[in-house]
Chain A
């Protein structure tokens, strides 16, 4: 048996006996993403459904002045609640999402055929209020246009006189791309899974081994240190790969738990998607294993390594966070940046656009270069004299 497989199998066997590592690699890591994803999606979907279908109750100040408008609202299942005295404060204190205020001279102006004012009081910074606000606004605007058209017709004019330009919406979003918008944070879950799957192993195989003082006897064996490192990295990669595969399997079941058809989006997480994601993630698995080992090698103890790694765990969030906040156009070079490239690629796969060959190649190439550099850096670290000395 050569040194690589001796180290590899020993680490795999030893860590299969460690409950904490197993729980992280086989349960927490793979399931964290899917469970959070399904829960979040259900919350979002149910809220959206509730907002569009359910009757809305909106305080209307001066409802008595505009019975026709109130009737129009009622037909769109927006009930006019009794008016309140302090609409601005009520909205700011989130007691109500939107208030309609009808100006006191509404009836008089209406009679004369003049323009009348209807105020909508709302807070645009409250995202959860956006759906009711837009429902009320489109209702009021639609009502105004309809009444305007009636007046024109009454005067023998065509309604098109007043609206020479008609806007027609041609939304190019497919049901898959709509879903991609909501799933832009999904790539982070995959990275997180890989990270968690290998983390405890990486700590155990460097900082842990050093803390237990077993690194010195290990290095006394007639095996070059890079071979020992290779065996250890192999074991870490195996655990994170298994985590990722389990996670992909769990994600494949996600559509069963999310009422996607109700909001008109499609979710294709089948084996084609899964296999492409795993392919894109392969360089990241090696890269993260090497980075985790490198960071752990700097730590003097298991706990210290854990602290450093929790900080390192934040790094993969950055591309996902960036992409969900800033809508950047994907430039070709971005695919070669590890993490960012994977992020772009996975979102693209989710949108159902597929990835071009050169995009996959850039993604794999960039990740591979980074992985090689990280492995090389770790190998240098392993050669240092101080690494083995525990005391």
Chain B
């Protein structure tokens, strides 16, 4: 479970995040929806302790991120916005590296790695060097190395960005699987259909604030719109900066 309480973060004069609060529960997929530049990535970066909030608190399974960032990171599996792989290592070696950084014993690491390679259907690329991987193959490898330590909480920053239809569907299936395993899944997106198809709960962020936090059906009811896209435009009050 991830609890976010009144986060603020400024870069110089720019207030990137200006009072964001929400809760992402176990066994649910929570979607962080917002136009480009709304503060989604900055919020996530504070969640996985890469950035320190100016004010506010992040609790992961009840642990305070500012008090014990290492313990929090151990409970998180993160696919960040930047998903660079080591191109001279194979996909398996990339996964192993992160497992070792988590201090996993070799036997357990091997077992988890093989399970993830099967779950993500990446057996054919596992022993290839990642140089020249397609976007989909890169994301798969990125997710496998993020989840190798079997975290309870999964953060995915725009996981379907740049994926084709087949890869996107596979990714959605995989996220559903993670939820069914009882994990807390939080992902950011600016793609409406995706959020609608997947989320148990939608948190809409615009201009650094949470402007809505509800299940999809409630969001439609609130705004009186029939499609989520119209609801979204109505909520953020403008269609400026809205992509896809």
Which A positions have Cβ atoms within 8 angstroms of B? 1-3, 6-7, 10, 13-15, 17-18, 209, 212-224, 385, 388-391
Contact = CB atoms under 8 A, between A and B. Distances in A.
B82 A217 contact: yes
Contact of A220 (B50, B71, B88): B50
Contact of B85 (A7, A214, A222): A214
A382 B145 CA distance: 23
A216 B50 contact: yes
Closest 5 CB pairs of A and B: A214-B84, A213-B82, A213-B84, A6-B100, A222-B73
A92 to B, nearest CB: 59
A391 B81 contact: yes
Interface of B: 45, 48-52, 69-71, 73-74, 76, 78-89, 93, 97-98, 100-103, 106, 142, 145-146
Nearest to A211: B84
9 contacts: A10-B97, A14-B89, A209-B84, A215-B82, A217-B142, A222-B71, A222-B102, A389-B45, A389-B82
Nearest to A221: B101
Contact of B103 (A1, A220, A388): A1
B170 to A, nearest CB: 21
B98 A221 contact: yes
A3 B103 contact: yes
Contacts of A18: 88
A219 B50 contact: yes
A360 to B, nearest CB: 39
Nearest to A385: B51
A217 B146 contact: yes
A224 B69 CA distance: 9
Contacts of B69: 222
A127 B45 CA distance: 65
A223 B50 contact: no
B82 A1 contact: no
Nearest to A16: B88
Contacts of B52: 385
B109 to A, nearest CB: 9
Contacts of B71: 222
Given A6-B97, A214-B85, A221 B102 contact: yes
- In this complex, the member of A6, A18, A391 whose beta carbon has the largest number of chain B beta carbons within 10 angstroms is A6
Contact of B86 (A14, A224, A389): A14
A214 B86 CA distance: 7
Nearest to A390: B82
Nearest to B157: A216
Nearest to B86: A14
A222 B74 contact: yes
Contact of A224 (B70, B89, B100): B70
Contacts of A17: 88-89
A6 B101 contact: yes
B167 to A, nearest CB: 19
Contact of B82 (A14, A214, A223): A214
Given A1-B100, A216-B82, A217-B80, A388 B88 contact: no
A90 B81 CA distance: 73
A182 to B, nearest CB: 43
Contacts of B81: 216, 391
B84 A217 contact: yes
Contacts of A216: 50, 80-82, 84
A30 B87 CA distance: 27
A217 B80 CA distance: 6
Contacts of B79: 217
Contacts of A217: 78-80, 82-84, 98, 142, 145-146
